[in-house]
Amino acid sequence: MIQIKNVPVGFPAKQAIGITIRMMPFQTTDLSCSTYYEMIGENSEILANGNSAISEEQFSNWGQEMSYIENIILTNLGLTRIVLK
């Protein structure tokens, strides 16, 4: 789970404290892909989920670092990663 700056989700609002992100299956000939995310609250409760697409340009710039994809999804959703020290 990626820890995020707490954000209210749902009604009544609960605080999401993390997010998990998965790549959706894609073929080697694909030019873009989609991801699936789950926003997590306390006690590992799933507060929201959905899909977020990766554009052709983003997909072509993706090397091997999964953090690249994570950062795109965090930006798409307006979330801020908490970096643990």
d(CA 5, CA 64): 26
64 is in which domain, residue-wise?
Answer: 2-77
Q: What is the pLDDT of residues 53-78, one digit of tens each?
A: 999 999 999 988 999 999 999 999 99
The whole-model pTM stands at 0.90
| 22 within a domain of the structure (yes/no) | yes
Using the Cα atoms of residue 45, residue 39, residue 70 and residue 60 in order, give the sign of their dihedral.
Answer: positive
| 85 within a domain of the structure (yes/no) | no
Number of domains in the chain: 1
Which residue, chain included where needed, has tokens 């072509």?
60
Q: What is the pLDDT of residues 32-53, one digit of tens each?
A: 999 999 999 999 999 999 999 9
| 82 within a domain of the structure (yes/no) | no
| 56 within a domain of the structure (yes/no) | yes
| 43 within a domain of the structure (yes/no) | yes
Beta bridge mates, 7: 16
Three-class SS of residue 21?
strand
Please name the residues in contact with 21: beta carbons below 8 A apart, sequence gap of 6 or more: 2, 35, 36, 37, 69, 70, 73
| 54 within a domain of the structure (yes/no) | yes
